[in-house]
Structure 1
């Protein structure tokens, strides 16, 4: 029974610490919203000191301190740990004569604390993260039930502010992830205020509109200046009709890109009506390649739409699955960034071609730019979008692992990538690729568990490409062989 109770307590503490990390509040600078509350309760209850403190794994950290310099203290001293452990308010009228506290450094030290009243700071899921407490240097009568209840209400105000910070942080993180995905997708988003003419841009704006977009396109006048003169009046008419009627805004036009010359842009937007504010929100997409191949325009538009769906589906899957494999926020950000970089390499190759296929050599140049000690040789092949993305993720997982645990950890380490493809007309044509590491500083051994990166490689090779993968941990380094059906034509 005792063991069960200990396990339950450990689980509760893990939940509490995990919840505290969600708030990302430890070691943050002072904030007026918290300091106003501590000053208010100190004045209201007539005590010299009021604190908001959060209890970490090994320490207590003061977020707001009225009447006392904020500082860390070990977790095993002071009053807060009793509030967290007991899950309820703790009242001490004379700490010097209380067996729990009379030898505590806060009581016998320079602070000479005698009176304490502390209430729990409860998170959204019920976990107690810290305390709001009052401290005085003289013995005094206990607070009444009404006074404790009022102090708990102030604790609720503190946690409402902390929850607001948490929610805003989660929102900002989600927005940054979406913006990064938009950057990789080649899509710019915008919000146009028809009353003021202001335009706010996000996503791949520099790619679509030019590096000076922040100043040149902040107002609708600058936007029209960038439109090709032959298309300017037509766009004014379409936008004007949309503003007048509130109808969907959609058109295509040429722009004079300052770095890339004349480009074709397609836009779609809808009205977001909030009380008396009317905002047109939409996306801009570069369709120059489609326009240059008019006979394939419909096919290319469908392919672009399909590719965007695949990209966002892939990004969504990576974000979701990486969350379960990550060891913490920093590890999660690093893994997400690495895998999104791999997607970006594939998208760079596709955007540099015809949106539907990409060169194997172009992909390997992208990989080599990110990991300079990777050397490669093999025939140039044209890979369709799904195969190019799968190969980009495959190479990224191997290269990242080599940089962390394999050959690329040492100054003399290197990787050789070689591939061949059977000639057309051969029976059972195969594509064969070998990844061979050598010269690393670390001894290479087989991992004791299957990581998400390994599963991602196997999914890329087996499920997406219909091939096989074999890994061997040789004395010289890791060797990976993949074999696929030979479906790609030479560039």
Structure 2
């Protein structure tokens, strides 16, 4: 069975040691506040030695030692250890008569202790950190209740000073942690004295306003001077309105950062008011990236609006022109659906990119998905939206005609699409594409009239892309050559 008492004592000792380390008094230098107490106690009790002793896990450390040169001793020979364990004052008038201490090295050797009186140093949570004790080298009478009470009062003074010191250390650590967090978060904090215009800074001020902020931005006017004139006037007006009405301050502005160029800053603040004084305290963050994303989103929306207008115009033209070429309602619906599918293929490619350009390979994969016996080869090029739509409509008309009247009308027919582009810098640089049908099981002859599909292809190639399109009906199948100015860069 486990010994519950031992477990409880071990837990209590662990908590006591954790509390002791919270105070950060171990292995620290002399401090006048503690040394004054041990000197006063030594004088008051007419004792040569007075100690503030902190009992660690294996030693007793003397935070203040009046009349003793050593700074620590082992815990196993410590008198103060017994006070920590007993949690109450301990007075030994003659240690030679006490079996616990008579053979102690501190009794048989320096400092030759004969008398000991110690009271607990009790922390905020009740843990005993050590003792305040007086020591004499000769036997003395026991302390009465009044004298022990005095010693306990001085012990309370010691702990009040220790608690104040702990609070200051925790405050400083919390401040450093906050400043580090502000540095990592990219937030600068500041305070403005409206009477003098003086500025105080903390946090990521260097990141937001420049590495020279401590010397160059000591006044509000210095900060305003780094803003563009139109922003400067607006910020000054917002600051004036906030000051006059005592209202929160909120503004977004640009600032010329010495190392990073023009940046966007958002600042928020409010007034801390005392009886006869006020300060505007606030925070600032860099919103340059958010502004950039917002501008990009606005640009994208304008571009999308432009694309949608173009798309609707194209759809409207297809609907109107197809109406004149269709033989009946079913034919009309079929032709419209086919051409809208071609537009959809172009839009899929644009949606997969950036709305502004699309990949030639991506377009051909869309065409191949609808007409599996089309094979293609050529460099991947980035086509602008109008060129992509024109090429999509052209491929759709060619593929639809091939499926009805050409090579793709039979199971053995196929289509090869290939293209090249002249070398960069070549004079009269051109793009060349060939559509070649073969393997069909019927004779291919030129049509007796120009269809709407042919007109649509010629309009797309000639009018929209500034190129030429030539068709010839070889015995093996239709061959189409398209030549365009080489304006497209490789993907």
TM-score bracket for this pair, using the shorter chain length = 0.5 to 0.7
- Whether the 8 Å contact between 1:267 and 1:285 is mirrored in structure 2 is yes
CA distance change for structure 1 residues 265 and 297 in 2, over 3 Å: closer, same or farther?
A: farther
Deviations 1:372-407 (A, max 9, x none): xxxxxxxxxxxxxxxxxxxxxxxxxxxxxxxxxxxx
Post-superposition shift, 1:122?
A: 0.9
- Does residue 218 of the first structure (1) align with residue 218 of the second (2)? yes
Post-superposition shift, 1:48?
A: 1.8
Deviations 1:73-115 (A, max 9, x none): 1001131011001000111222233322222122221212222
TM-score by length of 2: 0.57
- Whether the 8 Å contact between 2:60 and 2:78 is mirrored in structure 1 is no
- 1:281 matched residue in structure 2: 281
- Whether the 8 Å contact between 1:78 and 1:105 is mirrored in structure 2 is no
- Whether the 8 Å contact between 1:83 and 1:131 is mirrored in structure 2 is yes
CA distance in 2, matches of 1:263, 1:269: 19
CA distance in 2, matches of 1:75, 1:233: 70
- SS of the equivalent of 2:242 reads helix
- 1:67 matched residue in structure 2: 67
CA distance change for structure 1 residues 6 and 293 in 2, over 3 Å: closer, same or farther?
A: closer
CA distance in 2, matches of 1:70, 1:35: 15
Moved more, 138-147 or 83-92: 138-147
- Whether the 8 Å contact between 1:64 and 1:70 is mirrored in structure 2 is no
CA distance in 1, matches of 2:11, 2:102: 31
Deviations 1:310-339 (A, max 9, x none): xxxxxxxxxxxxxxxxxxxxxxxxxxxxxx
- 1:365 matched residue in structure 2: none
- SS of the equivalent of 2:76 reads coil
- SS of the equivalent of 1:183 reads helix
- 1:17 matched residue in structure 2: 17
CA distance in 2, matches of 1:145, 1:239: 66
CA distance in 1, matches of 2:100, 2:153: 27
**RMSD of equivalent CA atoms:** 2.8
CA distance change for structure 1 residues 293 and 127 in 2, over 3 Å: closer, same or farther?
A: closer
- SS of the equivalent of 2:77 reads coil
| Structural mapping, 1:150-161, within 5 Å | 150-161=150-161
CA distance change for structure 1 residues 297 and 278 in 2, over 3 Å: closer, same or farther?
A: farther
- 2:180 matched residue in structure 1: 180
Post-superposition shift, 1:275?
A: 4.3
CA distance in 2, matches of 1:45, 1:135: 10
- Does residue 232 of the first structure (1) align with residue 232 of the second (2)? yes
| Structural mapping, 1:82-481, within 5 Å | 82-292=82-292, 294-295=294-295
TM-score by length of 1: 0.57
Post-superposition shift, 1:37?
A: 1.4
- SS of the equivalent of 2:247 reads coil
- Whether the 8 Å contact between 1:227 and 1:256 is mirrored in structure 2 is yes
Post-superposition shift, 1:250?
A: 0.9
CA distance in 2, matches of 1:245, 1:55: 59
Post-superposition shift, 1:241?
A: 2.7
CA distance in 2, matches of 1:275, 1:63: 42
- Whether the 8 Å contact between 2:263 and 2:286 is mirrored in structure 1 is yes
- 1:5 matched residue in structure 2: 5
- SS of the equivalent of 2:47 reads coil
CA distance change for structure 1 residues 247 and 85 in 2, over 3 Å: closer, same or farther?
A: same
- SS of the equivalent of 1:88 reads coil
Deviations 1:282-319 (A, max 9, x none): 11111223434555689xxxxxxxxxxxxxxxxxxxxx
Post-superposition shift, 1:251?
A: 1.1
- SS of the equivalent of 2:218 reads coil
CA distance in 2, matches of 1:158, 1:225: 53
CA distance change for structure 1 residues 120 and 221 in 2, over 3 Å: closer, same or farther?
A: same
CA distance in 1, matches of 2:45, 2:228: 69
- SS of the equivalent of 2:3 reads helix
Post-superposition shift, 1:211?
A: 0.9
CA distance change for structure 1 residues 297 and 123 in 2, over 3 Å: closer, same or farther?
A: farther
Q: Which runs of 5+ in 2 are unaligned?
A: 299-364, 367-490
Q: Which runs of 5+ in 1 are unaligned?
A: 299-423, 426-490
CA distance change for structure 1 residues 151 and 196 in 2, over 3 Å: closer, same or farther?
A: farther
CA distance in 2, matches of 1:93, 1:277: 61
User: Which structure has the larger Rg?
Assistant: 2
- 2:51 matched residue in structure 1: 51
